[in-house]
Amino acid sequence: MSLHTTISDVTDRILERSDARRSKYISHMRAAAAEGPRRAHLTCGNQAHAYAAMGEDQQTLAETPAPNLGIVTAYNDMLSAHQPFESYPAILKEAAKAAGGTAQVAGGVPAMCDGVTQGQTGMELSLFSRDVIALAAGIGLSHNTFDAAAYLGVCDKIVPGLIIAAATFGYIPGIFVPAGPMQSGLPNDEKARVRNEFAEGKVDRAALMKAEMASYHSAGTCTFYGTANSNQMLMEFMGLHLPGSSFVNPGTELRDALTREAATRALAITALGNDYRPVCDILDAKAFVNGIVGLMATGGSTNLVLHLPAMARAAGVDLRLEDFDAISSVVPLMAKVYPNGLADVNHFHAAGGLPYMIGRLLDAGLLHEDVKTVAGDSLGLHAQEPALDGGALIFRDGAKDSANDKILRPAHDPFQASGGLKQLKGNLGHGMMKVSAVDPARHVIEAPARVFESQDAVKDAFKAGEFTSDLVIVVRFQGPKANGMPELHGLTPALSVTQQRGINVALVTDGRMSGASGKVPSCIHVSPEAAAGGPLSRIQDGDIIRVDATNGTLECLTEGALDRAPATPDLSHNGNGVGRELFDVFRQTVGTADTGAGVVV
């Protein structure tokens, strides 16, 4: 089928506005590629240092043109999703050697767990960690000894940070290697029920802890469809994963076979061979449009609305919020995965998963097929799924039909006719709402404001029984300049319970709510932020706010409210404790949320 006109038009607009930036970027990448193999530019002393610990591979590295794979790893034991990466370097090195090449760990990057830091001071470093990850990966690759790179990362800020680095080193090929989700544990709806009951004081902390441990119980990605799993979807839609590899569980033979194949494929697409596929050629405007399509069709994380513009800037592509909104208007919601539904990502994968979705979206003309990927010259290759045949890895056609239409539906019979995100604009600025989980009856909320400057203050008001009538909760001074833009996921139980009590409630904030933002209408990432003098800084309790996801508007209806002087709270306490001192320069120089809240891009 021919490409949908809206997808084509949005792509053309992105290409036009990106022309100068992209041309400059590609010029730099072509110049770097023209210098030839990386190791050829090192002196004998440089090379001796680089190969000193490589044992029997020293001679191969020093005396042959065999390709060398640089491994950038986010392994640590703190993240269940990243713990499986402990064994990956050995697997990748063995596979590289079998393919006639070599592999070295170029460096490690930090990877914090937002699940551990939710509601804690450390969450204020979370978004900035993306830029630190990009910098750390850049340092590892700066040794200039690598012909390709394998990026080991899964979770929230890790994949976007690695993409920024991969784009910066875009003259070498790169492949992203996932670890896969943990096996299904306590159902997500049951976990949410216990959380809400704890918020209401109906169960004790022991019951809450039991439910949480039964949900997050083993190595692998958390099984709800938050930012981590949205990242994995994104890498597949953008052509940087091997086909169908995102949601294969860790510790399985198929997972190990895919890891070995990642090394083999990465070495096959270097400039030393006949199928050179540098990252700069994969990360083009069409790839980013395909990624946004995948985000909308799956009802993915709102965090990617922050990350994708920053990732794109690193590749010379200029994405804007209107691109997300326009694509969302024509891309159907084909998946229902928690918090948008009851299923987890394992159920989604079993129902047909990403190969099914890519195939059906291509059939509907909603994806660019003519793109380069790590697998070849067509996104159609990513409608395949991996399997083992007598122990050998093969790729076969993915499912043509959904195995469970309560989880996964075709594009012509979706759960919703439009995608999961909506841009809201008005006199309060502009932000985004994840509408895929919100009942359409709640898409318009008009009510008096209650203004808070921390999520703890909201929770205290809830516990005090103050939310007894319709209201719009405004949580401000939570943007990147104010305190690093922490996720406010801790608000979800209080907001959910308030809504369940029959009260119309909406959230408006210049902060984030993560990929698990729930069923309460939440206009997030509002820009300009309050700390930069944005309109939210002028709102007071009782002002009438209209949050309208139907018409895409965010308005204060109280006459004269926005003529007030902005509130100027003392934010100095945001600059110390748990490492916040180290990030003062980030808070001072960070970009706006609508451009990706970037520091290094």
Answer yes or no: is 523 a known binding residue.
no
C-beta neighbour count of 193 within 10 angstroms: 13
Where is 463: in which H helix or E strand?
helix 455-463
- Which positions ≥6 away from 272 have C-beta within 8 Å? 37, 65, 66, 67, 147
- Which positions ≥6 away from 194 have C-beta within 8 Å? 203, 207, 208, 211
Q: Tell which residue, 23, 20, 62, 21, has the closest CA to residue 39.
A: 62
Dihedral angle computed from the Cα positions of residues 301, 113, 453 and 226, in that order, rounded to the nearest 10 degrees: 20
Cα 350 vs. chain centroid, distance in angstroms? 22
Q: Please state, in angstroms and rounded to a whole number, the distance separating the CA atoms of residues 242 and 179.
A: 12
User: At which residue do the structure tokens 């610990």 appear?
Assistant: 53
* Alpha-carbon separation of residue 326 from 8, 320, 508, 571 (angstroms): 11, 10, 22, 36
* Alpha-carbon separation of residue 246 from 45, 354, 355 (angstroms): 41, 8, 10
DSSP 8-class letter at 221: B
Answer yes or no: is 155 a known binding residue.
yes
Here the tokens at position 285 are 């405007």
C-beta neighbour count of 290 within 10 angstroms: 30
Which residue type is seen at 184? S
C-beta neighbour count of 195 within 10 angstroms: 19
Q: Tell which residue, 103, 107, 162, 177, has the closest CA to residue 129.
A: 162
- For strands 429-434 and 505-509, give the pairing: unpaired
Question: Is the C-alpha dihedral spanning 377, 378, 382, 383 positive or negative?
Answer: negative
* Alpha-carbon separation of residue 533 from 479, 529, 530, 575 (angstroms): 11, 7, 5, 19
Cα 444 vs. chain centroid, distance in angstroms? 27
Q: Tell which residue, 390, 131, 172, has the closest CA to residue 282.
A: 172
Crossing angle of helices 253-268 and 88-98, rounded to 10°: 50
Cβ(495)–Cβ(471) under 8 Å? no
Task: Extract the annotated binding site for [4Fe-4S] cluster.
Answer: 155, 222
Task: Extract the annotated binding site.
Answer: 155, 222
